[in-house]
Chains A and B, each alone.
Chain A
Amino acid sequence: MHDDLKRRLRDEVDAELGTRPPRNLSDALTRGRRKRLALRLVTTMSMVVVGSALVAGGLAIGRSMLSDEALPPANPRAEGIFAEVGGWIAYRSGSEIRAVDPANPTETRLIASSKEADPIGWSLDGGRLLLRPHPEPMVSYVDGGWQIGWEQPESPLDLFVLDSSGSRTRLTRGNGRSDTPSGTWGSFSPDGRNVVYACCGGAPGPYIIDADGGRPREVPGDRWASGGEPFAEWAAWSPDGSRIAFVDFWEGHPTYGQHAYTLSFHDPDSGDKLGEVVNVGAAGPTWAPDGSRLAFWAVVPDEDADPSNATLGPGGDFPAQIFVINADGSGLRQITHAGDNRWPTWSPDGSRIAFARGRLSFMTATDGSQAAYVQPGTRQLVTMAPDGTNVRIVEGVQPDGPIAWSPLP
C-alpha cells in the first residue's frame, strides 16, 4: 500500500509538473547570505540594546526581577485547575497533562489537554505551569563526539504558560526568525514574573521573557568574548534567584575544542560567571528548591559502541543518566546507572528527585544505520533520594516526556 502510493504520487507529480523549473543555486546562495547577515545583525543589535539598557537603567532589569516585592507569597495555595495537585507530579500521558500524588499513585488528576506539550516546571507559588513542545532531544555522533540535537526542524518550538484558570499564554514565536527565538526549555524566575529559556542551538540566548508574553531579551554576558561561539540550549533559574544555569553548545570552545558542551552558572543581573565551567552535555536542568544543587540528565555513551557507522555497541546501551552538581559547579556525581533516565525534578522539600525511566529500543533507519529510542508509553515514573538511593517506582504512571513536581508542600 505504502510503496504503491509513493510510486503513484511521484508518477503523477512527474506528469503534472513536467519540466521542472530551472535550478538556481546562485540565487539560493545570495538569499542565504542575506539571511545569514540578518541573523548576525539582529543578534548584534540585541546585544547592544541590552547593554545600553543595563547602563542606562542601572541594571534595572535584574533588580526588578529580584526586588523584595517580587518574592513569592509566603503561603502559596494551589487554585483552579491546580487546586488538587499541590505537591503532586505533573506529566504528560498521550494527549493529557495529568498529575499524580507520588505518595499515593492511585490518585491521579487530569489537569488539562496537553495540546502536544509537556510540563517542564512550576512557578514557585504553584500557580503556573511552564509547557514546552515535546520533541525529544536526539543523540548522534558527529565529528568525533556525541551530540544532543533536536529533530524538530522549524516549528513550533514554543513555550507556553498554563495558568490556574486553564488559559495558556504563548511565550515564544518559533517562526524561524532570530528576533523571536524559539524555546525548548526554561524555568520561572523566583517571583514568577519572568521566564528564562533557551532553544535548540539556533540562536545565542538564553533569553528572559515576561511570563505574560512580550519580546524576549538576551541574558547579558560575554561568554563569547574569550573566543568560540556558544549556543544556549538549556537554561534554568535557581529558586533563590542567585544564578541561572546555562548549557551551551560550542562550535569551537577555547578549552574543550570542537562541538563541546558546557554547563556554567551566571549572575542573572550581569551575566558574570559564578563558579566552575563544567564540560558536560547537561540536559533538562532543574534546581533543588533551596538552590544549592542542580540535577540534569546527560548521555553516557557506551564505550564499546562503534560510532563511526552509527551502529550501537554490543550491549545496545546508549543511555542517559541523572546527575547532580553543586551550584558552584563542583561535586558532579552520577546518581543513576541502569536504564535510560531523564527529566529529573525535585520534591518540594528537596529530599527526593523524580525522573522518567525508560528502556532503550533500536530503530533502523532507511540507510541501515541504527538509533536508540524509548518506546512511547513505556516509561516509568521513579523517585529516589538525591544521592541515588532509596529508589521507588510510582506504579501505574507512564510519563511521555518531562515531568514537573509541584513546589507546594
Chain B
Amino acid sequence: MTSSTYVVPRAEVNRLTFEDFYAAEFDRVLDSAFAFSGDRDASADATQEAFARAFARWRRLSRQDWAGGWVTTTALNVLRRRYRDAAGSRVPVDERASHDAHGRVDLLRALRALPVRQREAAVLFYMADLPLHAVADAMGVSDGAVKSHLARAREGLRVSLEERDA
C-alpha cells in the first residue's frame, strides 16, 4: 500500500543504533501504553518487553521505517494479552466518571472507557502519532475500519464533553 515514515524517519532509523532508538522512542511507547491501560507498572513492563522484542529482531527492524510504530503496537499487544490471560479476555475498561476532582473533563478516563478497538485506534493515532494507514496495518484492518473506529472514539469522547457541559 504505502511506504512512509511512521515515527522515526527511515533515514534516521538506518543511522540509529538500538540504544539511540530506545532513547528516542521510550517515552512515546510508554505514554501510549499508559494511555491505553492506565496501569503504570504494566505499561512500563510492556514497554520493556516490546523493546526487548525489537532488539531480538533489530537487524531487520532497524531497516524499516515503522520501527517506532512496531514497538508501540507490540506494547499494546503485550498489554492486551496480559489482560486476556489474567482476566479471561478483556482489557480493563475504566468505568469511573470522566471528570477529575476539579470537574474537568478527564479525556484519559474517557479514552479508557472506550471499547478496546476504538481505544487502540485512538492511542495509535493520537498518542503514537501513526498515520492512518499505519494504524490500519498495525490493527490488521482496513483504513476505512480505522476511520470508523476513530470516528466512534471521537463520538465517545464528545459525549463525555457534553456530559461535562450539561
Q: Are A153 and B2 interface neighbours, CB within 8 A?
A: no
Docked Cα-Cα span, A156 to B73, in Å, equals: 12
In the complex, which of the residues A29, A155, A251, A374 contacts B77, with contact meaning CB atoms closer than 8 Å? A155
**Given the complex, which residues of B lie within 8 Å of A9, measured CB to CB?**
35, 107-108, 111, 126-127
A276 beta carbon closer than 8 Å to chain B = no
Contact A6 B77 (CB under 8 A): no
Contact A116 B145 (CB under 8 A): yes
Q: Which of A1-39 contact B (CB under 8 A)?
A: 1-2, 5-6, 8-10, 12-14, 16-17, 20-21, 23-25, 27-36, 39
Known: A138-B1, A365-B5. A202 touches B57 (CB 8 A): yes
Partner of A28, one of B55, B127, B145: B55
Cβ contacts under 8 Å, A259 to chain B:
63
Minimum distance in angstroms from A124 CB to a CB of chain B = 29
Interface SS majority for chain A: mixed
Complex interface: chain B residues within 8 A of A371 (CB): 2-4
Interface centre among B1, B9, B14, B143 (most CB of A within 10 A): B1
Interface residues of A in 140-199 (CB under 8 A from B): 140, 142-143, 147, 149, 151-157, 176
The residue on A at minimum CB distance from B108 is A12
User: Of all chain B residues, which has the CB nearest A151?
Assistant: B137
Contact indicator B56/A154 (Cβ below 8 Å): no
- Name the residue of chain A whose CB is nearest to the CB of B26: A23
* Contact among B34, B70, B106, B157 with A154 in the assembled complex (CB-CB below 8 Å): B70
B48 x A12 contact (CB < 8 A):
no
In-complex Cβ contact of A10 among B11, B31, B143 (8 A): B31
User: Please, what's the 1-or-0 string for B38-50, where 1 marks a CB less than 8 Å from any CB in chain A?
Assistant: 0011001000110
Q: Which residues of B contact A8 (CB under 8 A)?
A: 107
> In the complex, are the beta carbons of A152 and B22 less than 8 A apart?
no
CB distance from A316 to the nearest CB of B (A): 14
Closest to A366 in B: B5
A154 and B126 in contact (CB under 8 A), knowing A13-B35, A35-B56? no
Known: A9-B108, A25-B19, A202-B60. A367 touches B5 (CB 8 A): yes
Q: Does A139 contact B (CB under 8 A)?
A: yes
Residues of B with C-beta under 8 A to A147: 63
B85 nearest CB across to chain A (Å): 12
In the bound complex, residues from chain A placing their C-beta under 8 Å from that of B134 are 151
Tell me if B54 counts as interface (CB < 8 A to partner A).
Answer: yes
A386 → chain B, closest Cβ, in Å?
Answer: 27
Interface size class of A (residues with CB under 8 A): 35 or more
Tell me the smallest distance from the CB of A144 to a CB of chain B, in Å.
Answer: 11
| B48 A24 Cβ-Cβ under 8 A | yes
* Docked pose: A372 CA to B154 CA in angstroms: 29
CA distance A16 to B36 in the complex (A): 13
Name which residue of chain A comes closest to B63, CB basis.
A142
Does B63 lie within 8 Å of A133, measured CB to CB? Answer: no
16 contacts between A and B (CB under 8 A): A12-B106, A21-B44, A27-B48, A29-B52, A32-B53, A32-B58, A116-B141, A138-B1, A140-B64, A142-B10, A152-B140, A153-B70, A153-B74, A310-B10, A363-B131, A372-B2
Taking Cβ atoms with an 8 Å cutoff, the residues of B that contact A are 1-6, 9-11, 14, 18-19, 22-23, 26-27, 30-31, 34-35, 40-41, 44, 48-49, 51-60, 63-66, 69-70, 73-74, 77, 106-108, 111, 126-127, 129, 131, 133-134, 137-138, 140-145, 154, 157
User: Sorted from nearest, which 9 A-B pairs have the closest CB atoms?
Assistant: A32-B55, A31-B52, A365-B4, A35-B56, A151-B137, A371-B3, A153-B70, A373-B2, A36-B56
